[in-house]
Structure 1
Amino acid sequence: MGNFRLTFILPVLLVLPGILTAQATADSDAAAIAIENPTENAADPAPGAMPTMAEIERAYQRGDFVFVRKGLQQLAEETGTALAQYRYGRVLLEGKGGPRDMKAARDWLEKAVEQNHAEAATLLGRIYVSGQDGDPLYNPERAVDLFANAAARGQTEAQYYLARLYLSGLGTPADPVQAFNWFLAAAEGGNVSAQYEVSKAYSRGRGTKLNTEEAVRWLRRAAEEGHTEAQFFVSLAMDTGNGMEQNKHAAVDWLRRSAEGGMILAQRVLGMKYIAGETVEPNAEEALRWLTLAAKRGDTQAAYELGTAYLAGKTLSADPGRAWAWFQRASDDDFGPATTALARMADEGIGDVPDLEKAVGLYRKALAQGDSSVALRLGHLAGAGRLDGLTPPHYAVPWAIVAAQDGDMAALDWVKTQAGQGLRPARTALAKWYLETDENLLQAADLFETAGRAGDVEAQYQLGMMLTKGQGVDQDYVQAHKWLNIAAASGNGEAAKMRGVISDLMTTEQIAEAQRLARTYFEEIRNLPAGEVQK
């Protein structure tokens, strides 16, 4: 049976909508075309004669897929056997010996299913969940029926896929208990992917009671059968001693198995161990081998780690050029820390002359990519006056505040200068600084009012809160309601909530007066020059 197999590699089935991306199973192997006691010396048929299945199998072995396709078509059409229909459907699906033809494959597999061919039902079910809404080949409800039919007859691959559908709620109401039961049936039948899912279910108490001991048992069983994710998590458990007896050397062995099996995360982690000399001796060649493999397969952090290693110059020889290239690759993948590393290289002149303008552009890009750590460096630069002419001052205000919170009083002085020059975001930021440090509260209120009159919504809200509490100013519900109402009109949800709270404490006349004052504000703001409102 194992001498000949039609390897089924259909991209559309390998990129299913978050549900059927599983490793090859024993059942899928059994479902492939296989020789049953082939006669090695048997001759191929004369032209025009109907080929036998054994002759088709030999043609497959020597790579004559045109013969395979034509022969299976003839057998399927003229004999009508379920096996020929199923195998012909697979060839059409794979596109060997001719163009891929999904619809024809579907039709031939349906014919095989009508004759109760379990493997055909499983394969057809996979087709029906591999598309998207609106695709004529997308029918998850039909897939559920097909998988259930084959699963009931012990087809472990179908049991596994049926469990995935129950878990996700695709084509059937989600049912974690049913999912677990079918995963367990498939796992007990030897399906490695199902074994891993059973381990996860026990570890999370999903569809069954939490059972760490069973979770570990099934995890090890899947790992021993070659499941790369299971191998990775066995490695992690052994490395940390969490769930398994700690054994760092055995952990590295399992990590290596997972990496050699193709798991990208394992490849990156193994490469990092060789960089750091963790449990293994530092080894530049092995570090490069595994990190480069992971990076070239799309692991952004592996590219970043390579850049870091070349910059550090410890296990790998220092090479700023290569460091920059790997950081650039990760930065292009929108990885903020890599962009930060590029910015620091440009800032400090590593590998080239310092280039502050380039560094600032990269720091800002890193911020946009989510790396907030660079705000401190930008704040220090603002406080030192080194951002002048490189970035608009209103962008630098929050960075300077971060630096001030870190003790950089020059950065705070810069904010004060900008506030004194009328920069609205600086006034609001300085007022919040005073409010949070509980100093100069009266000046904070003045700054909030000045910024609020110019249209700063945050300043309007903060002033309303100070007036509500009587914080540094006299408590005044009418003025508080006015400013909260103005902020709420610009979409500040918290202002709207607080306006409702203080309304319950005010008389009808007070509310009417507050609303009149808010209307007056809006009339005044409409008459201000655009530059004054936006400043």
Structure 2
Amino acid sequence: MMSAVRAPFRRLRFAVSGRAVLLAVAVAGAPSLAYAQAQPPAGGAPSTQPAAKPAAKPKPDAKPDAKAGSKPATKPDPKAAQRPREPVPMPLLGQQISYPSLDTPGGSGDIAYGAYQRGYYITAFNEALKRARAGNDPAAMTLLGELYSEGLGVPLDPKKAIEWYRKAADAGSPGALFALGNMTLAGRGVPMDEPAAAQLFKQAAEKGSAGAAYNLGLLYLQGRKIPKEPSEAARWFELAAAKDVEDAQYALGVLLKEGNGVEKDIAASARMMGAAARLGHITAEVEFAIMQFNGTGVAKDETAAAALFRKAALAGNAIAQNRYARLLAVGRGVTQDKVQAAAWHLVAKNRGLGDPMLDEVVAKLPEPDRKKAQTQAARWESGRS
């Protein structure tokens, strides 16, 4: 009989403008933490199309001021991608969102951001600089900050990025405040200062930045340079979770499950884990599948749990690969298939997750089936279906 298992918490990500910083600080009773990422705002009018992960990104904060043509004014800078980047003290992760098409023929959009999104960085810089010099344009200023921060079309210059982000923040851009917070947190262009970063995140969150709310929650949960207050962390996570920041939903689900900073509520935890899982948060998929299989906080559904384990297994999660292998081995929630079970077990085992019960399943397979499982596992490992 399958027993309840607990998926190890993944590292959460701090949201960072243009980059993400993996800090991996263990917190008792909570997942280890890392900050999630945001892209610069799509400086034109708000999109009517749904974004893949809109809440972790700054919102547009200026109106379009030009009609975009079908082609950028200049070609991409061929040397931009080759320029050396400033050393970053922490690994980079990222979250991407789906932007609307801003420069389609006959459409009304933003030339600067349309060029930026397509890699025409010199055009983006020239258009944004022209707008920034012409008047109070926080979206253009934010884009200039992003270009200098990343060294796209211009030399990498964190100090100039800070200058433009500050101008944009003074003009009311929550995205620029968010970016300033992340650069202050990482010590890029300014001295590293976690309390100052927290203040910037708070200002951005109060202006509607979901990513900043999530980051602020992580700082309160870590309690390194600011007081550790799980209840405050939960409050900011809740704000970000309501805007579909999947990392915030997962983090809040953890707190609700353990009663850390909030009243313990397994059903609410399951709802948060389910919401994050639906947005593609792999560790939440594993956690929610375990809850579904065991009927913890949610109706018991072994078939749905098996499907979710498979989804996370295909994404490379070793826990999911192990649990799906066990389900295949015994035929719970899925048709029994010991060869496929053995193949998934071998993949998980190669990632360091052994299982004596599944070792026995492999050992008892006829030699042709065992070789078939080994071949299938090798194909998966090499990226073939």
The interval holding the TM-score normalised by the smaller chain is 0.5 to 0.7
Residue 121 (structure 1) aligned with residue 136 (structure 2)? no
Q: Which residue, 311, 326, 330 being the options, matches 1:308?
A: 326
Distance 1:355 1:200, change over 3 A: closer
Distance 1:351 1:221, change over 3 A: farther
Structure-2 separation of matches of 1:313 and 1:216:
39
| 1:114-513 equivalence runs, <5 A | 114-115=133-134, 116-130=136-150, 136-330=154-348, 334-337=350-353, 344-346=360-362, 348-350=363-365, 352=367
Whether the aligned pair in 2 keeps the contact of 1:307 and 1:326 (CA below 8 Å) is: yes
Residue 112 of structure 1 corresponds to 131
Residue 115 of structure 2 corresponds to 92
Q: Which amino acid aligns with 1:138?
A: L
- Rg larger for: 1
Residue 489 of structure 1 corresponds to none
Distance 1:298 1:235, change over 3 A: same
1:254 match: secondary structure: helix
Residue 60 of structure 2 corresponds to 30
Structure 1 stretch displaced more, 19-28 or 320-329: 19-28
2:112 match: secondary structure: helix
Residue 122 of structure 2 corresponds to 103
Distance 1:214 1:273, change over 3 A: closer
1:314 match: secondary structure: coil
> What's the TM-score once normalised by structure 2's chain length?
0.66
Q: Which amino acid aligns with 1:93?
A: Y
**Deviation digits for residues 402-432 of structure 1 (CA, Å, limit 9, x no counterpart):** xxxxxxxxxxxxxxxxxxxxxxxxxxxxxxx
Distance 1:343 1:140, change over 3 A: farther
Whether the aligned pair in 1 keeps the contact of 2:54 and 2:244 (CA below 8 Å) is: no
Residue 379 of structure 1 corresponds to none
> What's the TM-score once normalised by structure 1's chain length?
0.49
Give the deviation of 1:169 after TM superposition.
Answer: 0.8
Distance 1:162 1:319, change over 3 A: same
Structure-1 separation of matches of 2:187 and 2:112:
28
Distance 1:154 1:284, change over 3 A: same
Greater fraction helix: 1
Unaligned runs of 5+ in 2: 1-16, 23-34, 39-52, 71-99, 378-385
Distance 1:329 1:188, change over 3 A: same
Structure-2 separation of matches of 1:273 and 1:216:
21
Whether the aligned pair in 2 keeps the contact of 1:275 and 1:287 (CA below 8 Å) is: yes
Number of residues of Structure 1 aligned to a counterpart in Structure 2: 303
Whether the aligned pair in 2 keeps the contact of 1:179 and 1:207 (CA below 8 Å) is: no
Q: Which amino acid aligns with 1:88?
A: I
Whether the aligned pair in 2 keeps the contact of 1:267 and 1:294 (CA below 8 Å) is: yes
Structure-2 separation of matches of 1:299 and 1:254:
20
Unaligned runs of 5+ in 1: 1-12, 36-51, 57-61, 73-86, 363-535
Structure-1 separation of matches of 2:67 and 2:163:
30
**Deviation digits for residues 201-235 of structure 1 (CA, Å, limit 9, x no counterpart):** 22223443333332222222222232222211222
Q: Which amino acid aligns with 1:92?
A: A
Whether the aligned pair in 1 keeps the contact of 2:230 and 2:260 (CA below 8 Å) is: no
Give the deviation of 1:157 after TM superposition.
Answer: 0.8
Q: Which amino acid aligns with 2:293?
A: I
Distance 1:66 1:227, change over 3 A: closer
1:67 match: secondary structure: coil
Give the deviation of 1:163 after TM superposition.
Answer: 0.4
Whether the aligned pair in 1 keeps the contact of 2:253 and 2:272 (CA below 8 Å) is: yes
**Deviation digits for residues 37-79 of structure 1 (CA, Å, limit 9, x no counterpart):** xxxxxxxxxxxxxxx84999xxxxx97944258x87xxxxxxx
Residue 509 of structure 1 corresponds to none
| 1:5-24 equivalence runs, <5 A | 21-22=37-38, 24=54
Give the deviation of 1:153 after TM superposition.
Answer: 2.4
Whether the aligned pair in 2 keeps the contact of 1:162 and 1:182 (CA below 8 Å) is: yes
Whether the aligned pair in 2 keeps the contact of 1:20 and 1:161 (CA below 8 Å) is: no
CA RMSD of aligned residues (A): 3.8
1:185 match: secondary structure: helix
1:246 match: secondary structure: coil
